[in-house]
């Protein structure tokens, strides 16, 4: 089973209403940086869900979910949004290395943990 769930306008409430942290990546199939960097996001998800199952990881295709794209003000790709209890607490714009993503996520989790 993949550590990254595909979300769309039919099932997004799974992360929006999730009590905990959700890390959602907005992407497009035509976006080369999105596609080239996706293995990094998948690796991040695999590492975190192995040790912290209370964190959800997902992806949203902007072409298939234009309402979500507008709702969350996603204008550049890839965009990664970090939610806590349904509220956006951090945005990550563009491509990042695995180390950068881990550092950002660790800092956000530390700052917003109960």
For residue 107, what are the domain limits? 4-112
Structural domain count, the chain:
1
3-state secondary structure of 73: coil
The whole-angstrom separation of Cα 22 and Cα 56 is 5
User: What tokens does 87 get?
Assistant: 């509220």
Average of pLDDT values for 69-85? 96
Q: What is the dihedral of CA 28, 109, 56, 83, to 10 degrees?
A: -60
The whole-angstrom separation of Cα 97 and Cα 104 is 11
Q: What is the pLDDT of residues 22-46, one digit of tens each?
A: 999 999 999 999 999 999 999 999 9
**Is the model more confident about 79 or about 1?**
79
Angle between helices 98-112 and 32-51 (to 10 degrees): 50
Instruction: Give the residue numbers marked as catalytic.
Output: 31, 34
Percent above pLDDT 90 for the chain: 81
**pLDDT at 114 (0 to 100):** 66
Domain containing 65 — which CATH number? 3.40.30.10
- The number of beta carbons lying within 10 Å of the beta carbon of residue 45 is 22
The whole-angstrom separation of Cα 24 and Cα 59 is 5
**pLDDT of 16 above 90:** no
Residue of 37, 36, 34 whose CA lies nearest to 26 = 34
**pLDDT of 1 above 50:** no
**pLDDT at 49 (0 to 100):** 80
């Amino acid at each position: 089973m993949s550590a990254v769930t595909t979300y769309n306008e039919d099932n997004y409430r799974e992360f929006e209403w999730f009590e905990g942290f959700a890390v959602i990546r907005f992407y497009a199939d035509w976006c080369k940086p999105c596609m080239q960097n996706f293995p990094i996001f998948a690796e991040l998800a695999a590492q975190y869900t192995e040790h912290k199952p209370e964190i959800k990881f997902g992806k949203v295709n902007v072409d298939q979910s234009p309402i979500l794209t507008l709702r969350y003000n996603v204008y550049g790709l890839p965009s990664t949004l970090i939610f806590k209890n349904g509220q956006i607490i951090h945005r990550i714009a563009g491509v990042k290395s695995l180390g950068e993503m881990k550092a950002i996520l660790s800092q956000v989790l530390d700052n917003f943990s109960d």
